Chains A and B, each alone.
Chain A
Amino acid sequence: MPGVDIQQIIFDALELTNHAREDHRQIVISESTLLFGNDGVLDSMELVGLLISIEEALLDEGIEVTLSDERAMSQSKSPFRSVTTLTNYIQDSINEPAS
């Protein structure tokens, strides 16, 4: 989808997560930020919140994808591990929407 910066959408969603966090628990946001799983910075509900924010931002761009469906859960490696893996997963989901 031309013109949509997926990584920036993830960064914006992480900024929203930071708004709900105390000062000493702020997430350092970068391409290599580990999101969920081993050494990940998000708990399960923060991941849910992040995915809602991202889906919402994509809908604002006219793109409808579901990020937390069976397809995400069935991946051998979770697409939610890091900003990079999530960016790639969202890009793939947009290019090949689930049937």
Chain B
Amino acid sequence: MGARRILVTGASRGLGRAITEHLLAKGDVVYGCSRGQSDLSHENYHHFSVDIGSDESIKTFFFELRRATRSLDALINNAGIASMNAFALTPPATYQQVFNINVQGTYLCSQKALGMLRKSDHGRIINFTTVAVPLQLEGESIYAASKSAVETLTKVIAKEYGNFGITCNAIGPSPIDTSLIKGVPASKIQELVQRQAIKKMATPGDVINVIDFYLQPGSDFITGQVLYLGGVS
């Protein structure tokens, strides 16, 4: 088996960066994208500047991606933004931005990648949700709603494309110390952690473990699943 070709969105920092570095260390070829440039330099890393919240930008990106590769083994829809605000105070612009990146971005990247993933013997789509969905966290209405949509997309894509040899699953991390939660007060994070079965912060390694599981050829029969970290259900 040759090196896997994996597309990671939101690859330049945080969890996406950790996932990208892990895959590169395993010998995979990674096509990463983020809004800006990446300072990651590796012979098997190819970076693209993309606004995942823009359909036009995604269209241009996939056109450019095709020049680099005609097939993909996996798409990891990691790019996402969070937003904390009381529902009554959340402006429409925030709603639009969160849904454009989290939902539309996942939808469009998955749709555009289908044909390329179909060329793989073990095509994978891995989406990102959050424990804020099952915990129905106050202050995260729009963010959690967007990730609920991602979960439903995950399950329907799994059903529609299972016979195409493409699995689609999601991972729902519990709080990890990344830029996504840098604006959230420490007390709020601790309150959330205390609602988990395992009451501690997750690490990027915990997420990578699940990604490795979804990616491995032995997981051909695992699809439409949402796996939360920390014992949240």
Contact = CB atoms under 8 A, between A and B. Distances in A.
A20 B118 contact: no
9 A-B pairs with the lowest CB-CB distances in the bound complex, closest first? A56-B115, A52-B115, A52-B114, A49-B164, A60-B70, A55-B115, A59-B66, A20-B163, A52-B118
Interface residues of B, number: 11
Contacts of A59: 66, 115
A64 B65 CA distance: 14
Nearest to A48: B160
Contacts of B160: 45, 48
The interface residues of chain B, by DSSP majority, are classed as helix
B116 interface: yes
Nearest to B71: A56
B68 to A, nearest CB: 13
A53 B119 CA distance: 9
Contacts, number: 23
B53 to A, nearest CB: 21
Interface string B160-182: 10011000000000000000000
Contacts of B118: 49, 52-53, 56
A19 B163 CA distance: 11
Interface residues of A, number: 11
A59 B63 CA distance: 9
Contacts of A52: 114-115, 118, 164
Interface string B189-202: 00000000000000
Nearest to A58: B115
